Amino acid sequence: MKRAYSLLAERSVRLLQNEAPQLPSDAVIFSMIQPTGDFHLGNYLGANKVWKQIQDEKLPSQTCLFGVADLHAITVAKLDAPKFKQLRIQAIASILALGISPEKCIVSFQSMIPEHSQLNWLLATITSMGYLNRMTQWKSKSVGMDEDQVKLGLFAYPVLQAADILLYDSTHVPVGEDQKQHLELTRYIVRRFNKMYKGEYLVEPQTVFTPTKKVLSLTNPTKKMSKSDPDPMSRIYLTDTPECIQRKIKKCLTDSITDAFYYDPEARPGVSNLINIVSGLQNKTVAQVEEDIKHMRDYRAFKGYVSDMIIEELAPVRTRYESLIKDPAYLMEVATKGSLERARPIAQRTIKRLMDRMGF
């Protein structure tokens, strides 16, 4: 029987600006990111910055697991194997560049731990097709595809995501707003399994929402910032040079109002997106950022201010990344130790507990 958690009755924790995550002393914090290239500013403010905050506040009795969801990455076929391998290494470098310590946290490759796939199958047998068919993300990713092009992995990947979380008895999962539905599915699976097998065998995790609202595309602020956008000017990577950041912010889409800058996501989505970015970088509320910029009367000053904030925040991340990526052997060593020596023993205990109860 699993230990009880005092906060499990709550569905989510929503962090406020300047608020350190207040988590139970026995919390297990889990999050992963796909190896689709360098992290961008949306990834950073949507989840990755909170990883570092959680690590820095971590108690010895808490467990942090951060990793690379490389099995999820193949829901869209990766035909260039050497490139995919490099993307996986880059993802580990990016995690460490954020300031994540492999001594304080478990850093792993999902694919190195076969129990992820094993639990995925066990959970798939109790997850309804109807629930999966209501998931919005697979629908958005399959737009324009016919039935033959939409693969089972793309349709059912939320079950694997649930398995990732539940494999470690995770109690808290820091994510952006776009992952809300996936965490709801995870809790649904937990309740179904526990009801079927008459006990608390799986832990129901809480969603930890980051304080920054969704970061939008610099060229089309009606969409979120994404690596899949064909326009490279739409996003800022954590490894972009200061000159590149300045160029992207200078050319980003705003509006024709030049004598005042304020937050209005409906009427001024481009300006509001930039204010939201500064809010996340500075750990300030939107109102505080508006107060800081109220004296500005032209886009040169406003966009220069935004560029300076981004450059200052990302400079140490870029420096660490450039150093780490030169040593792929070290990065593989970190991922291998984290996966096989630290994460997998936890995963094996969970699988044994569940399979024993299921009669295997």
Active site residues: 141, 224, 227
Cα angle at 103 between 331 and 324, to 5 degrees? 30
Instruction: Please count the residues of the chain.
Output: 360
Strand segments (E) across 46-164 = 63-68, 106-109
* Contact between residue 215 and residue 45 where contact means Cβ atoms under 8 Å apart: yes
User: What's the distance, CA 74 to chain centroid?
Assistant: 17
Residue 324 in 3-state DSSP? helix
Residues 6+ apart with CB under 8 A from 257: 268, 271
User: What is the chain's alpha carbon radius of gyration, rounded to the nearest angstrom?
Assistant: 21
Q: Which residue has the tokens 């490279």?
A: 232
Contacts of 130 (CB under 8 A, 6+ apart): none
Sheet holding 63-68, edge to edge: 12-14, 206-209, 172-175, 28-33, 63-68, 106-109
Q: Which CA distances in Å does 177 have to 80, 208, 211, 215?
A: 31, 10, 10, 11
Read off the amino acid at residue 115. E
Separation of alpha carbons 215 and 43, rounded Å: 9
Measured on CA atoms in the order 75, 81, 87, 88, is the torsion positive or negative?
positive
Buried b (16+ CB within 10 A) or exposed e, 246-276: bebbeebbbeeeeeebbbebeebbbbbbbbb
Structure tokens at 14: 């929503």
Closest CA to 155 of 185, 133, 122: 133
Q: Which of 46, 20, 57, 53 is nearest to 210 (CA)?
A: 46
